[in-house]
Amino acid sequence: MRETRVAAMVPLAWAAAMLLARFVDPWIPIALAAMIVPAAILNAGWPDIRELFRPAPSRVLFGLLGAAIMLAATYGFFPLIAARAPALALGTGNLYARFLAGRSTGSILLFVIPVIVAEELMWRGAFQEWIAQRLPASRLAIVVLAAGGYAIAHLPLGSPLLVGIAFLCGLYWSALRSLTCSVVPSLIAHLAWDLALILVPLNR
């Protein structure tokens, strides 16, 4: 029961953070959610959550390969799609403006890196683990459900593009987690992807 309550906190807290992000500096509510929910997860004492973060050479290599594929697809396909879909380019610019404008790269990284670690603990760790333990579903169904919850929790920000990105990325990261029974590969891919998009913007 305690694990269920903590797992339910993940989408609720993230959705609340996204809603508040519409009216205040978005990093403030996101940072709060990224501190409070992981603390509750770790306090719940899930031994399997800690195991999911145990590094191993194969997990690290899988994560690096996953990151390389994701980055190649993003930087390879985005210019082609954006050239034919101006709304994509506009939406991308709006997201960059909302989250990065007026901030130094150092300050952004100071927030982003621990937030991504918290996201993986929350979503690919506790939330996906809870789905896998409670629902007698196939791996594919679990991945889709986990990604769907991740995407829906981004809805309150009011950006359809972000919801779509969250769903596609959620599918990819949840699949990495499912295939390897570890959060390490999804964490590496998530970190590499977000940091690359900050350091080398898509709308440059």
The residue extents of the domains of the chain are 2-42+54-199
Which pLDDT belongs to residue 23? 94
* C-alpha distance from residue 180 to each of 92, 138, 175, 201 (Å): 31, 15, 8, 30
pLDDT value, residue 102: 85
Q: Is the pLDDT of residue 1 over 70?
A: no
pLDDT band at 189 (very low <50, low <70, confident <90, very high): very high
* pLDDT tens digits, 55-106: 899 999 999 999 999 999 999 999 999 999 999 999 999 999 999 988 898 8
The C-alpha atoms of residue 167 and residue 27 are separated, in whole angstroms, by: 21
The pTM score is 0.94
CA–CA separation, 184 and 54 (whole Å)? 7
Q: Which tens digit of pLDDT belongs to each residue from 103-141?
A: 898 889 889 999 999 999 999 999 999 998 888 778 999
Q: Taking 70 as the threshold, does the pLDDT of residue 146 lie above it?
A: yes
Greater confidence (3 vs 202) lies with 202
pLDDT at 63: 97
Percent of the chain with pLDDT over 90: 76
Element (H, E) at 42: helix 27-43
- The Cα–Cα gap between 127 and 188 comes to 18
| Mean pLDDT within 41-63 | 86
Joined together, the tokens standing for residue 87 give 């709304």
